[in-house]
Every structure is written in structure tokens, then in C-alpha cells.
Amino acid sequence: MSQCTVRCLRVALALAFTLGGTVGAPAQVPPDPGPDPAPAPVTPAPTNGSTPPPVLLGARVEGVRRAIKVVPTVVLVRNAADFARIVGGWTLRQRFPVLIDDGTDGAREDIARFVRAFEPRTVIRWSPPDNAPPLPDDPEGRRSTLDEVARLSWGARTPEELAQVWAQTQFRPFGVVVASPRDPAWTAAVALAAGRGQPIVWTDTGPRPPGDVFDEAGLQSLLTTIEAGVEALNPGAGGEGGWRGLGDGIDSVTLCLNAPSRITVAGDRLALTDRVGRFADDSRWAWCGMIFGDERTAAYRAMCALFLTPRSALLFDGYKRSFAPPYDLQPGADLLTKAGWKVELSAEPRGGLDDWRARGRFGFTADYIHVNSSGLPSWFDLTPGRARPSDVPALNRPAIVHFIHSFSAERIDDPNTVGGRWLANGAYAYFGSVSEPYLAAFLPGPLVTARMLALAPWGAAVRQDQGKLWKVNVFGDPLIVAGAPQPRVEEPLDGSAGASVEDEMRAALGAGRLVEAASALVILGRDEDAVRLAQAAIKQNGSCPPDLARVVIHSAARRRDAPLLIELYASLSRADRLVPEFADLFWQVARAELEDSKDARLGALMRDAVRERTLVEDAAALAPFLLRTSGAGAARAFVGEMIDRAPTPEARAALVEESRKY
């Protein structure tokens, strides 16, 4: 493959698909036309009402996905400016995932998650030429540059050239993305604009916490900007399409913004993404989703949406079977199994907290996760037992999460809440409530899976078709579809395009730079080899260097090696052991060891790792171990210490009750 993957060259691709006569039939994709084909038309999708609008939209999205070949190479860049440059080098014939590695633990784990799911042949690091200009700082200049980046991936530099490309291929955009040049989530906007052929509607708002509530003036300004932007696109030119109804031209809006995700209507807290895409009379003209985060995180969420195809599911039913029969997850599991998915189902009598913890002890490995539960932002009830955000396991692969629960998305940017923890742990799409929605606000899990299998995209599959404006929010790209895997082009990037992470790992290993080598191994998805490095260091030195332990500890969990994970946690610096990410991981894995272990060192580690937000639960788990290994006096003294640390009167009362057992 030539250097067209890293710089703009002339692009040509025939985008073509036709809908079959069956509702939900997959788009038909023509064979690879070879280099530089003449543009061929896209068959306009039918709009006569014979196909439900969600399925119609999904088929349009799927047609574009399947028509564009994917190179099985993951490209890593160092910052957002480089991200824009490399996305501008995409072509309509060949694309590849681009992720930002800023050197943080979060970047390494997100990249590793993506790599394990995408299974690339190679992972490379790309650096721009020394004389590459920076992104403009002024909003107007940045907007202009990023618009051009999106156009370049479609083989056009100017709006006029892009219009010509779309006219030649009879392509009509099916959605828009909304972004601000002053908001770091623009990386997702550029990726989704380029990847799906969606114009960018620009707003000039600055970032605000997604957990906040929009004021009326700010909300109306955003709605006006979006509708004016869509109207200016004039997608109905030529007598076809439009945007004011479903099943026409523009049917989706993706907010790539750090903006308040809650709104107030008549004194009630409702969901922003259920308001965007509606007119004042509540009628819907588009489905909406929201991507927020810094440049790195927003880019990760967009790349997952563009390049990953869900093929496995974890369905966890925390309800009693008699509670709400339509929400029984067994029919959904049967549907997914028949569709060829790998499915795990937990339900009563295996739908309780102990079952949850056992299943997630070493992380969840599923592309789609559905949970039935109830509760508040900081807890969710199962049958039996109450789980906390700290019980949400690490995700070993990026996941789409559908969570039936009141309030889980109330403060979606707070990792100490249920929804916030799923996103912090690697979910790239999430559906949850901002307030008490009542159960009927959620489509039953089997219906959601059926809609997804019929190609309804994420933003439409989870919503009531004729539902009123309400309290459930869609996070992530609303155009994620559970379609067929994208076709791949098995050819490498040019050697000049970037440095191989495999070569980087070998050089670091040869020079004895174990932390650097381990980090590269984790990024490459080679957890077993990363674990071996840590084991060798322990064998040689009696312990693992703290920096190496920090890199490898998640690999130990993924390898299901509890003794090694405990050893690595002990090797962390005192400050790192108190980091919630590591303390929660340690408790998730080590809790099960308490039942049979007599290891005083384990008890001491867990005592030091007792977490304030789960102090009652941690104390109740550790006190019996101390009773068995050190006697009643030690158990009483420990619980008394926890009583002194209790953060609330309720926690204190629960601990006083616990102390009576000893």
C-alpha cells in the first residue's frame, strides 16, 4: 500500500449497495473495484414506508461500512494534531484505526482493549514530518482545518469537490456530527465525519461537565444551531430526502461535545439525547447519541464504533424471574445464539452479587453487555445483593452496555457512579437513565437484541419508536450497527509510514528497558509475555519493580493469575495502591482468596486497601478472615477502627452492627 495512508492522494471508490426485499436484510457490497475506479452510483434507499426507519437507517450505515475496506493495522499517534493528520490520509477504498497514545495508563489499557478486539496484523507508531504545522489555535482556523480533514478522507479538498463526489456516487449523508473547535471531543467528530460521510455542524461552546444540567438558554441555542446547520445542508435537493421526518436524508445526530447531558422540562430532569432530534411538539426527526471525553478518550470511542463489530454478549438478569416477565433475558440469549454470537447468561438463581463478582473477577470479555437491575447512582441491586460502582469489572474488550436501572447515568462523567464507571472502564457506548424513568421507559432486553440483529443502529435500537421525551440517554455513536465484519485488505502499510511497536518492544527488551518492553507487549495484546517479564523480575529480585508492576497488573488479571496479581499489587508504590483503579482491581480478584487463605500478608494488604466508599462491605469481608487467622480480638479491633473511619452515620451504624458478631 502506498503512502496514501498517511497523506492525501486522489481517491476513488464506487459506493454501492441495494436493500434486499426482506426487512433487515444486509446490504449487498460489490467486489473490490481495484485501484482508481470510476465512481459508481449508490442505489438510493427506498422511502415508501415498506422498511421501518430504524432498519432503513441501519442498512444505509451498513452499506457504507461494507463498501470500504479496512487495513488490519492499528496506527498510534502522540496527540490530537497528529490524529487529525492521519485521519486526513484515509481513503474511501482503505481505512485503518487511529488511536492516541499519550503515555498514560488509560491510553495503554484502551489501546490494548481495542487491539484484543480488532486483532490487527500490525500496530505501528506514526510521527509527522518535522515541519508539520500545528493545528490552528483560533476557532475559525481550526474549524476550517478539521472540515478539510474530513473532506480529504472522501477524496475532496473543498466543499464543492465533496459535493461533486457525493453527486457522482449518489451518496446522501444519513447523519451529522456536532462539535466545537474549543471542545476536546472534536477528535470523535472528525473521525465519524470522515468514517461515515457526515457533515460537521459547528458550535462555539466551550467544554462543560457532562454531569451538569443544561440551562434553558444554552439548550435552545444548541438546538437552534443543530437545526439551522442541518437545514443549511439542504439534503432534500433534487426532490429526494429531506430531514424533517424519519426515513429521509438526515436521521441521526451525534453530539461530540463535553456538554451537560441532562435538561430540565417542567421541573423534571430529562435526557439531552432524547431532546436533540425532536421538534418542539415532541415529534422525532433524528436519533441522537453523545460522545464526550478528552481528545484521546473521544477518539477511542469513535474508533471502536467505526471498526469493531459486536459478536459476543453477556446478559445479566438481576431481577426475580417473577418480577417482570417481558424483561426475561432468555429469549434474547436464544436470538443472539441463533445469530452466531457467543452468549453468556446469568439469571435467578445465579443473578446475585456473589454470581456477579465471580463472573467478573478477572474482568468481563464481551462486546455487548446487558444488565437488569435497580438502584441509585452509587449502587445497583441484584437478586440478592447490592453492588457498587467498584464492583463493575475492568473490560477486557471495548463494550456496548445497556443498563436497565434508575439514575445510573445521572452523573455520567463521575466514575463513582454506575454509568460513569462503565465508561471509565472501557465501554464506548452506554444506555442509561438520568433520573427515575420507570421500567417501561426501557425496551426489554430481548426486543433490543432483536432490533440490533435487524440492523437498527444503537441510537434507535434502544428507544421506544413512538415514545415521548423522557429520561434515558444514549452515549456513544448512535450509528453503531451489529452488522457483518468489515472486509479487510491484507496488505501492509509502507515501512516509511511508521515504526512497528513489535520492533519497539524487541529493542527495549534487548536494552533491558523492561517497563517499556512490557508496555509494548500489553499494547500488542500479548498479556502472557508481559506476565512472564514480571515473573522473571520477581524470580531474580524477590519482588517486581513498582513501575513494571503498574504496567503488568491488568495483564495478570486477564491471565486469571490471582497470586501474581496480589504480588504485583504488593509491589506497587503506596500511592499507587491507593489509586481506585488498582484498589478496586485488587479487591475484585483477592476477595475470593479470603475464604481459604491464612496468609497474614494478604490480610495486611487488604486491610490497607479498605476503600472509603465501600468501607462497610470491605470490613464485613475482611473481619471473618481476621477472626479465623488472628482471633476475635483482632477482628473486634479492626471493626472498631473502621467505625472510627465511617464516613456517614449510616455506615457507622452498619459497622456497629457488624462489630456485635465478634
Tens digit of pLDDT for each residue in 256-280?
Answer: 999 999 999 989 999 999 999 999 9
The residue from 593, 609, 642 where one domain ends is: 593
Whether residue 576 sits in one domain with residue 626 = no
Strands 287-291 and 252-256: parallel
| Three-class DSSP category at 444 | coil
Sign of torsion over alpha carbons 84, 89, 92, 96:
negative
Whether residue 183 sits in one domain with residue 92 = yes
Residues 6+ apart with CB under 8 A from 25: 19, 59
Identity at 657, one-letter amino acid code: E
Whether residue 345 sits in one domain with residue 224 = no
Q: Which phi and psi (to 5°) does residue 645 adopt? A: -90, -5
CATH of the domain at 546: 1.25.40
Whether 284 maps to a domain, the answer reads yes
Whether residue 554 sits in one domain with residue 447 = no
Whether residue 207 sits in one domain with residue 332 = no
What is the reported pTM? 0.90
Whether residue 151 sits in one domain with residue 79 = yes
Whether residue 178 sits in one domain with residue 57 = yes
The secondary structure of 510-564, three-state, reads: HCCCHHHHHHHHHHCCCHHHHHHHHHHHHHHHCCCCHHHHHHHHHHHHHCCCHHH
Peptide bond into 35 cis (omega under 30): no
User: Which residue segment(s) compose the domain that 65 sits in?
Assistant: 3-303
Whether 159 maps to a domain, the answer reads yes
Gyration radius of the chain's alpha carbons: 25
Whether 490 maps to a domain, the answer reads no
Helices (H), 183-315: 186-196, 216-233, 272-275, 295-307
Listed residue (456, 449, 448, 483) closest to 51, CA to CA? 456
Listed residue (352, 390, 358, 391) closest to 372, CA to CA? 352
Q: In 10 A of CB 182, how many CB atoms?
A: 14
Residues 6+ apart with CB under 8 A from 101: 76, 77, 78, 107, 108, 111, 125, 523
Whether 326 maps to a domain, the answer reads yes
| pLDDT confidence of residue 526 | 97
**For residue 139, how far is the Cα from the chain centroid?**
28
| pLDDT confidence of residue 233 | 82
| pLDDT confidence of residue 404 | 96
Whether residue 161 sits in one domain with residue 39 = yes
Whether 230 maps to a domain, the answer reads yes
Whether 61 maps to a domain, the answer reads yes
The residue from 270, 303, 336 where one domain ends is: 303
| Three-class DSSP category at 503 | helix
CA distance 66 to 596: 52
Whether 480 maps to a domain, the answer reads no
DSSP state of 6: T
- Ranges in the chain, pLDDT < 70: 1-49, 234-241, 492-497
Whether residue 287 sits in one domain with residue 159 = yes
Locate 36 and state its grid cell: 482508481
| pLDDT confidence of residue 474 | 98
At residue 213's C-alpha, the angle toward residues 210 and 215, to 5°, is 125
Whether residue 450 sits in one domain with residue 336 = yes
| pLDDT confidence of residue 497 | 67
CA distance 240 to 327: 40
Alpha-carbon separation of residue 378 from 259, 386, 408, 545 (angstroms): 22, 10, 8, 35
Locate 389 and state its grid cell: 460502582
Whether 18 maps to a domain, the answer reads yes
At residue 50's C-alpha, the angle toward residues 49 and 54, to 5°, is 75
Bridge partners for 99 per DSSP: 76
| pLDDT confidence of residue 566 | 97
Residues 6+ apart with CB under 8 A from 428: 300, 301, 304, 305, 308, 398, 399, 400, 476
Strands 427-433 and 342-346: unpaired
CATH of the domain at 396: 3.40.50.1460
* pLDDT tens-digit series, residues 515-572: 999 999 999 999 999 999 999 999 998 899 999 999 999 999 999 999 999 999 999 9
Locate 394 and state its grid cell: 475492568
- As for how many domains the chain has, the answer is 4
| Three-class DSSP category at 51 | coil
Alpha-carbon separation of residue 8 from 90, 151, 272 (angstroms): 8, 10, 37
Whether residue 568 sits in one domain with residue 432 = no
| pLDDT confidence of residue 493 | 67
Whether residue 622 sits in one domain with residue 558 = no
The residue from 565, 593, 621 where one domain ends is: 593
